[in-house]
Amino acid sequence: MKKFFYLLVAAVAMIGFTACDDQDPVCKADLDWAPVNIYIQVTDSAGNKLINPSDSTIVDGTTVTYKGQTLNVSRARYNSNVTPAGIKTRAYEPVFYGFELFNLKWLNSDYGNTYAFHLGEIDGSKDMDEDIVINWANGTSNTIHYHCSNHDNTIGTCDRWFSLDGVEQSSNFITIVR
């Protein structure tokens, strides 16, 4: 029993003296930045929500220009009636779904059947300074500016903000009044 005790004490002592050097790139933990998703709700001046899958007035003919590409609104995930996967517990690469019709109850059931446009997923680990132009079917447009820079992997912070037509927004949930 004494031999086992001494062996255990020696093992604990050896573990206590092993450590990684903070400057050693092999020992640094890689931070997994969450992907960025932009949700766009459209209302009238009275606050009535205008995005409705059965009414093509807002949905059909709306496009977004992102990184030089013009994307039409996709109904693929909406029509499939498959709820997107929930929170991921392991590191993964963001999946760019494009510009799509999105039921917000997929994020939180408190939203009920409230619809929005979704643009994403955008790689949250990349520095970006990008204009996203929404082109409406009636010929008008709105510009969302997405800025992300100064990533600090040691404490997990970055400078990230969104603006709509030059007005800074409080989050990635953006409401456009039409």
pLDDT tens string 54-73? 888 888 889 999 999 999 99
Report the alpha-carbon distance of residue 8 to residue 151 in Å, rounded.
42
Q: Which residue has the higher pLDDT, 61 or 3?
A: 61
141 SS3 class: strand
**Residue 128 predicted with pLDDT over 90:** yes
Of all residues in the chain, the percent with pLDDT exceeding 70 is 77
pLDDT computed for residue 168 by the predictor: 97
170: DSSP letter: S
Strand residue runs (E) in 28-104: 36-43, 63-66, 69-72, 98-103
pLDDT computed for residue 26 by the predictor: 46
CB 149 within 8 A of CB 69: no
β-strand 36-43 against 141-152: which pairing, if any? unpaired
Q: Which residues have a Cβ under 8 Å from the Cβ of 129 and sit 6 or more positions away?
A: 145, 146, 147, 148, 149
Q: Which of 4-8, 19-23, 69-73, 149-153 tops mean pLDDT?
A: 69-73
HSE toward the beta carbon, residue 91, CA cutoff 13 A:
7
Structure tokens at 10: 């020696």
pTM of the model: 0.77
